[in-house]
Structure 1
Protein backbone atom coordinates (compact mmCIF):
# COMPACT_ATOMS: atom_id res chain seq x y z
CA UNK A 1 0.00 0.00 0.00
CA UNK A 2 1.06 3.54 -0.62
CA UNK A 3 1.47 6.08 2.16
CA UNK A 4 -1.60 8.12 1.08
CA UNK A 5 -3.75 4.96 1.14
CA UNK A 6 -2.47 4.03 4.59
CA UNK A 7 -3.13 7.52 5.94
CA UNK A 8 -6.64 7.50 4.46
CA UNK A 9 -7.31 4.07 5.97
CA UNK A 10 -6.18 5.23 9.39
CA UNK A 11 -8.40 8.31 9.10
CA UNK A 12 -11.41 6.04 8.62
CA UNK A 13 -10.60 4.35 11.94
CA UNK A 14 -9.23 7.33 13.85
CA UNK A 15 -10.66 5.99 17.11
CA UNK A 16 -7.97 3.27 17.14
CA UNK A 17 -5.36 4.25 14.50
CA UNK A 18 -2.98 7.19 14.26
CA UNK A 19 -1.74 7.81 10.71
CA UNK A 20 2.03 8.03 10.36
CA UNK A 21 3.73 8.93 7.10
CA UNK A 22 7.18 8.28 5.73
CA UNK A 23 9.49 9.74 3.11
CA UNK A 24 12.92 8.82 1.81
CA UNK A 25 15.12 11.33 3.66
CA UNK A 26 17.88 10.89 1.07
CA UNK A 27 15.79 12.83 -1.47
CA UNK A 28 16.42 16.21 0.20
CA UNK A 29 13.91 18.88 -0.82
CA UNK A 30 11.57 16.24 -2.23
CA UNK A 31 11.47 14.58 1.19
CA UNK A 32 10.59 17.90 2.83
CA UNK A 33 7.86 18.60 0.26
CA UNK A 34 6.52 15.06 0.64
CA UNK A 35 6.47 15.31 4.42
CA UNK A 36 4.62 18.63 4.28
CA UNK A 37 2.10 17.17 1.83
CA UNK A 38 1.50 14.10 3.99
CA UNK A 39 1.16 16.17 7.15
CA UNK A 40 -0.83 19.17 5.95
CA UNK A 41 -2.92 17.74 3.12
CA UNK A 42 -3.27 14.07 4.08
CA UNK A 43 -3.28 14.36 7.86
CA UNK A 44 -0.22 12.33 8.92
CA UNK A 45 0.24 12.74 12.67
CA UNK A 46 3.88 11.60 12.77
CA UNK A 47 6.60 9.95 10.70
CA UNK A 48 8.33 6.59 10.81
CA UNK A 49 11.80 5.92 9.43
CA UNK A 50 13.88 2.74 9.07
CA UNK A 51 17.52 3.91 8.89
CA UNK A 52 18.97 0.43 8.38
CA UNK A 53 16.49 -0.44 5.62
CA UNK A 54 16.47 3.02 4.03
CA UNK A 55 20.27 3.26 4.16
CA UNK A 56 20.83 6.52 6.03
CA UNK A 57 22.31 7.83 9.27
CA UNK A 58 19.70 10.00 11.04
CA UNK A 59 22.44 11.95 12.83
CA UNK A 60 23.95 13.19 9.56
CA UNK A 61 23.65 16.96 9.13
CA UNK A 62 22.28 16.54 5.61
CA UNK A 63 18.97 15.42 7.15
CA UNK A 64 18.66 18.31 9.61
CA UNK A 65 16.39 20.36 7.31
CA UNK A 66 13.88 17.48 7.22
CA UNK A 67 14.00 16.98 10.99
CA UNK A 68 13.58 20.75 11.48
CA UNK A 69 10.56 20.77 9.17
CA UNK A 70 8.93 17.92 11.09
CA UNK A 71 9.71 19.69 14.36
CA UNK A 72 8.13 22.92 13.06
CA UNK A 73 5.03 20.91 12.13
CA UNK A 74 4.98 19.54 15.69
CA UNK A 75 5.14 15.93 14.55
CA UNK A 76 6.91 13.07 16.32
CA UNK A 77 9.29 10.73 14.50
CA UNK A 78 9.97 7.07 15.18
CA UNK A 79 13.28 5.55 14.10
Structure 2
Protein backbone atom coordinates (compact mmCIF):
# COMPACT_ATOMS: atom_id res chain seq x y z
CA UNK A 1 0.00 0.00 0.00
CA UNK A 2 1.43 3.37 -0.98
CA UNK A 3 1.03 6.07 1.67
CA UNK A 4 1.86 9.68 0.87
CA UNK A 5 2.99 11.65 3.90
CA UNK A 6 3.66 15.39 4.16
CA UNK A 7 5.05 15.29 7.71
CA UNK A 8 8.76 14.51 7.77
CA UNK A 9 8.77 13.31 11.38
CA UNK A 10 5.87 10.93 10.77
CA UNK A 11 7.42 9.63 7.53
CA UNK A 12 10.66 8.91 9.37
CA UNK A 13 8.86 7.21 12.24
CA UNK A 14 7.02 4.89 9.83
CA UNK A 15 10.25 3.99 8.07
CA UNK A 16 12.14 3.37 11.33
CA UNK A 17 9.20 1.79 13.13
CA UNK A 18 9.74 4.11 16.10
CA UNK A 19 9.85 7.75 17.10
CA UNK A 20 11.28 9.92 19.86
CA UNK A 21 7.73 11.17 20.47
CA UNK A 22 5.88 8.98 22.98
CA UNK A 23 2.50 9.61 21.34
CA UNK A 24 3.78 8.59 17.91
CA UNK A 25 5.41 5.47 19.38
CA UNK A 26 2.15 4.56 21.08
CA UNK A 27 0.28 4.74 17.77
CA UNK A 28 2.98 2.77 15.95
CA UNK A 29 2.86 0.04 18.60
CA UNK A 30 -0.88 -0.31 17.91
CA UNK A 31 -0.83 0.00 14.14
CA UNK A 32 2.24 -1.96 13.06
CA UNK A 33 1.13 -5.34 14.50
CA UNK A 34 -2.27 -4.86 12.84
CA UNK A 35 -0.66 -4.13 9.48
CA UNK A 36 1.59 -7.16 9.85
CA UNK A 37 -1.37 -9.38 10.78
CA UNK A 38 -3.08 -8.26 7.56
CA UNK A 39 0.20 -8.87 5.69
CA UNK A 40 0.23 -5.26 4.51
CA UNK A 41 3.44 -3.56 3.52
CA UNK A 42 3.42 0.23 3.56
CA UNK A 43 5.47 2.14 1.02
CA UNK A 44 5.71 5.56 2.70
CA UNK A 45 6.53 8.34 0.26
CA UNK A 46 7.25 11.95 1.16
CA UNK A 47 5.15 14.64 -0.48
CA UNK A 48 5.72 18.35 0.12
CA UNK A 49 2.84 20.41 1.45
CA UNK A 50 2.96 22.45 -1.76
CA UNK A 51 2.37 19.27 -3.80
CA UNK A 52 -0.25 17.83 -1.43
CA UNK A 53 -3.71 18.49 -2.88
CA UNK A 54 -5.28 17.46 0.45
CA UNK A 55 -3.16 19.85 2.55
CA UNK A 56 -5.77 22.59 2.92
CA UNK A 57 -8.52 20.13 3.77
CA UNK A 58 -6.35 18.35 6.34
CA UNK A 59 -5.76 21.70 8.04
CA UNK A 60 -9.46 22.48 8.12
CA UNK A 61 -9.18 25.31 5.61
CA UNK A 62 -10.15 24.52 2.06
CA UNK A 63 -10.78 27.69 0.02
CA UNK A 64 -9.10 26.08 -2.99
CA UNK A 65 -11.06 22.87 -2.83
CA UNK A 66 -14.23 24.29 -4.37
CA UNK A 67 -12.36 25.46 -7.45
CA UNK A 68 -10.67 22.10 -7.87
CA UNK A 69 -13.97 20.26 -7.69
CA UNK A 70 -13.21 18.13 -4.65
CA UNK A 71 -16.04 16.82 -2.55
CA UNK A 72 -15.94 14.80 0.62
CA UNK A 73 -18.27 12.02 1.67
CA UNK A 74 -18.32 11.06 5.33
CA UNK A 75 -18.01 7.29 5.61
CA UNK A 76 -18.26 5.42 8.89
CA UNK A 77 -15.03 3.64 9.80
CA UNK A 78 -14.99 -0.16 9.81
CA UNK A 79 -15.93 -1.46 13.29
CA UNK A 80 -12.60 -3.28 13.73
CA UNK A 81 -10.84 0.12 13.78
CA UNK A 82 -12.96 1.56 16.64
CA UNK A 83 -10.23 1.00 19.24
CA UNK A 84 -7.88 3.27 17.24
CA UNK A 85 -10.28 6.20 16.98
CA UNK A 86 -10.76 9.12 19.34
CA UNK A 87 -14.27 10.54 19.60
Structure 2 length normalisation: TM-score? 0.29
Structure 1 length normalisation: TM-score? 0.31
Q: Which has a greater percent of helix?
A: 1
